[in-house]
Amino acid sequence: MNESMYKYMKVGLIHFMAYPSTMKGEGPIVETVNKIALDDYFNAIEVTWMKDPEVRKEVKKILETSHMTVAYGAQPRLLTTGLNINDLNEEGRQKAVASLKEGIDEAYELGAGGLAFLSGKYEEATKEESFQALVKSTKELCAYAKSKGNLRIVLEVFDYDIDKKSIIGPVELAKRFAEEITKEYDNFGLMVDLSHLPLLRETAEQAILPIKDYLVHAHIGNAVVKDPSLEAYGDAHPRFGFPNSENDVPELVEFLKVLKDIGFLNTQNPPIVSFEVKPWGDEDPDLVIANAKRTLNEAWAQL
């Protein structure tokens, strides 16, 4: 497309994926956030928990000074701790909810507009019970967020049977879930991730069209699914063009086209579209980020 992509979306980067040493809420958080904030290719950033309150203060100052749009990714709060938001054990479910409520507090502190999380593992025999537990937890999170301001709660759709094995999941269930929550709460939405489409065995149209009315956020990245023996198999978010991977410029063009056709990419209220890319092995994070930028530039030019 001839028009600038910045008219249609806020281009973001998921800080804790690009620099995975920060994923547990520790490590070189300030330095790496600062590096992203200095790069004017990005006008949005997604950050996660920061265990040190002083680090949060420094990061808040960087984000305010840089004039970036901020989102909070609470996925590491669950994935690095084994907590499950739809745990059928009530004590376990409450622990997960408590952690995400802490995340909501941090998101407000950092000036984020939304907090994203993922659903947990489930057993086929008790799938409906897990679904109801997820509904209960999500409503608690929406109510808590609403009591403090206008933070949006966002569920990211993950794979249901390959890697993360999250209940949400297939697009039909994602739609049912979003319908259930939005009956009661208007501060909820869904997120789709190009990286997860091959894991879900869904095309961009199949994954997006049924939930278009609930879509508020998108991620773009890559995955390897052809064979479990391959490097970066599963939900590892390798760079575009990674050996035996599924997504490159053509797939990104298709994804963006569907998002534009449904009006998600728009000039009135441009949404955040963030790269979710992660260095594999000893790859340099900054080269992986440069790869992502080139891929999006090429894809946008072909749109």
- The DSSP line for the chain is --S-GGGT-EEEEEHHHHSGGGTTS-SSHHHHHHHHHT-TT-SEEEE---S-HHHHHHHHHHHHHHT-EEEEE-HHHHHTTT--TT-SSHHHHHHHHHHHHHHHHHHHHTT-SEEEEE-----GGGHHHHHHHHHHHHHHHHHHHHHHS-PEEEEEP--SSSSS--S--SHHHHHHHHHHHHTT-SSEEEEEEGGGHHHHT--HHHHHGGGGGGEEEEEE---B-S-TTSTTBBT--PPTT-TT-S-SHHHHHHHHHHHHHTTSS-SSSPPEEEE-----TT--HHHHHHHHHHHHHHHHHH-
- C-alpha span between 48 and 51 (Å, rounded): 10
Average pLDDT over residues 98-117: 98
What is the third-level CATH fold of 5-302? TIM Barrel (3.20.20)
What mean pLDDT is predicted for residues 272-298? 98
Give the residue-averaged pLDDT of 59-83.
97
Query: Contact at 8 Å (CB) between 243 and 231?
Result: yes
Confidence of residue 1 (pLDDT cuts 50, 70, 90): confident
Place 126 in a pLDDT band, splitting at 50, 70 and 90. Answer: very high
pLDDT digits over 247-271, tens only? 999 999 999 999 999 999 999 999 9
Q: Of 57, 11, 12, nearest to 30 (Cα)?
A: 57
Mean pLDDT of the region 69-94 = 97
pLDDT range class, residue 273, cuts 50, 70, 90: very high
pLDDT digits (tens, 9 = 90+) for 195-239: 999 999 999 999 999 999 999 999 999 999 999 999 999 999 999
Region 142-165 average pLDDT:
97
Q: Burial level of 112, CB count in 10 A (0-12/13-18/19+)?
A: buried
Q: Check: pTM over 0.75? Answer yes or no.
A: yes
Q: What is the mean pLDDT of the chain?
A: 97
Structure tokens that stand for 74 in this block: 């609470």
The Cβ of residue 205 has, within 10 Å, a number of other Cβ atoms equal to 14
At 228-250, the pLDDT tens digits run 999 999 999 999 999 999 999 99
**% pLDDT > 70, the chain:** 100
pLDDT digits (tens, 9 = 90+) for 155-186: 999 999 999 999 999 999 999 999 999 999 99
pLDDT at site 85: 98
Stretch 149-153: mean pLDDT: 98
pLDDT higher than threshold 90 for residue 275: yes
- pLDDT, average across residues 5-25: 97
